[in-house]
């Protein structure tokens, strides 16, 4: 299996190790950070495909980390996990851009299923989409994520901008 790296952000060392081991055994490359600031630094240095972050951390909690990731890298799926879940917090996290909200404790299989659902898979085929501009590449990454979901998307734009190519 060839997957993008999953960044685990968890301040509890035993849970961090368990999550990392679970994903590693499932064939996903994993790196970890103990806090939000370290995670943001790692995202600059490493090719990250997905972030899984605890909510209750200091000095930056998971919700603040999510907002910073959305500003810097809106193409990266972020899964928040917490032992103190509530419907209101989950809704707020989703509104802020989290792909989902996982309540601890959770089964290993549930975690793996979330990663399989949201982590972009390596494509073996050829894409007709050609771009160098960072915003165009970001659009392509988002399109690849959407393509693996059941979401319905309307693509608009002037004639000749590549809507049909993107739709494929």
- 144-153 pLDDT, tens digit each: 777 777 778 8
What one-character DSSP code corresponds to residue 3? B
Where are any strands of DSSP class E within the chain?
A: 5-9, 30-33, 48-54, 78-82, 100-103
- 131-144 pLDDT, tens digit each: 667 777 777 777 77
Report the distance separating Cα 28 and Cα 151, nearest Å. 25
Is the model's pLDDT at 123 over the cut of 70?
A: no
pTM over 0.85: no
Largest CA distance in the chain: 54
- Residue 23: CB atoms within 10 A of its CB come to 23
Report the distance separating Cα 168 and Cα 165, nearest Å. 5
Domains within the chain, CATH numbers bracketed: 5-118 (3.40.50.2300), 134-167 (no CATH)
Is residue 29 a contact partner of residue 37, using CB atoms and an 8 Å limit?
no
Report the distance separating Cα 31 and Cα 18, nearest Å. 13
Is the model's pLDDT at 40 over the cut of 50?
A: yes
Assigned token pair, 106: 């959770």
């Amino acid at each position: 299996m060839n997957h993008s790296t999953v960044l685990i952000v968890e301040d509890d060392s035993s849970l961090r190790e368990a999550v990392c081991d679970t994903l590693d055994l499932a064939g996903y490359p994993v790196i970890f950070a103990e806090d939000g600031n370290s995670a943001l630094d790692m995202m600059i240095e490493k090719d990250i495909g997905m972030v899984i972050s605890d909510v209750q951390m200091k000095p930056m909690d998971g919700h603040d980390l999510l907002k910073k990731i959305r500003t810097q890298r809106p193409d990266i799926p972020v899964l928040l996990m917490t032992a103190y879940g509530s419907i209101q917090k989950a809704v707020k996290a989703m509104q802020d851009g989290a792909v989902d909200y996982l309540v601890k404790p959770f089964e290993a299989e549930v975690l793996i299923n979330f990663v399989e659902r949201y982590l972009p898979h390596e494509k073996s085929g050829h894409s007709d989409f050609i771009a160098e501009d960072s915003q165009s590449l970001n659009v392509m990454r988002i399109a690849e994520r959407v393509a693996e979901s059941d979401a319905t998307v309307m693509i608009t734009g002037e004639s000749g901008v590549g809507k049909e190519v993107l739709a494929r």
